[in-house]
Homo-oligomer: A and B are copies of this chain.
């Protein structure tokens, strides 16, 4: 019996096929199982299994006959933004009451702020400065808010601009309100951040703004991170997802911080 060596010579590994498929989808926006079967010299069955795998990893959208790219805009940020959505929305709703018509506001890039941006009623007029891509994008849907985007080098994981440009832009501003998320807040250490760049930017935001409002979920309270942003007395209001009368806040209240 003749052994067909030729056939065996070139068979791609599964992983290689996957790479190939992803690359092709990226480039052509569409792949057909039949084409792939021919191109990769495996049965359509195998292609289908490949497609199913990639699809279950959310890397492609499998459809009858082939696959298409997954549409969605952002991935990692988007995932985070859907985390603890319930809490974030609670906070956002409370924070809404602090916005008055005609104000100039600066917002940090936190996912809670994104929630806030989503629910600002369309009859509110305001000017919002931000350095977060998703927040700016969200606000473009709003009919009357004026958006000023603060440019600079993009920090991909958080989809915000950072760096000197941002710092220098912000230090030239004067705003009424400043909404910012935080990674840690505590009476003695004040507000702290794990990221040096971010801590610096937040410092600028605070000195640029008349009132400082910190939005944070319960689990950030009493956490301390590496870099200091501001002592507690610089914070005007903390908005959280728990009851403002909770005893957790006693110390904060003594320092004159409002809890919402």
Contact = CB atoms under 8 A, between A and B. Distances in A.
A152 B136 CA distance: 11
A184 B85 CA distance: 45
Given A26-B119, A27-B119, 20 more contacts: A13-B63, A13-B65, A13-B66, A15-B68, A16-B30, A16-B68, A27-B93, A29-B89, A73-B141, A131-B151, A139-B154, A140-B156, A140-B159, A146-B153, A147-B156, A148-B152, A149-B153, A149-B161, A151-B152, A151-B165
A223 interface: no
Contacts of A156: 140, 147
A210 to B, nearest CB: 22
A185 interface: no
A3 interface: no
Residue among A23, A29, A150 with max Cβ neighbours from chain B (10 Å): A29
Interface residues of A, number: 50
Interface string A124-147: 000000010110111111000011
A64 interface: yes
Residue among A138, A139, A148 with max Cβ neighbours from chain B (10 Å): A148
A250 interface: no
Contacts of A152: 148-149, 151
A153 B161 contact: no
A61 interface: yes
Residue among A136, A141, A159 with max Cβ neighbours from chain B (10 Å): A136
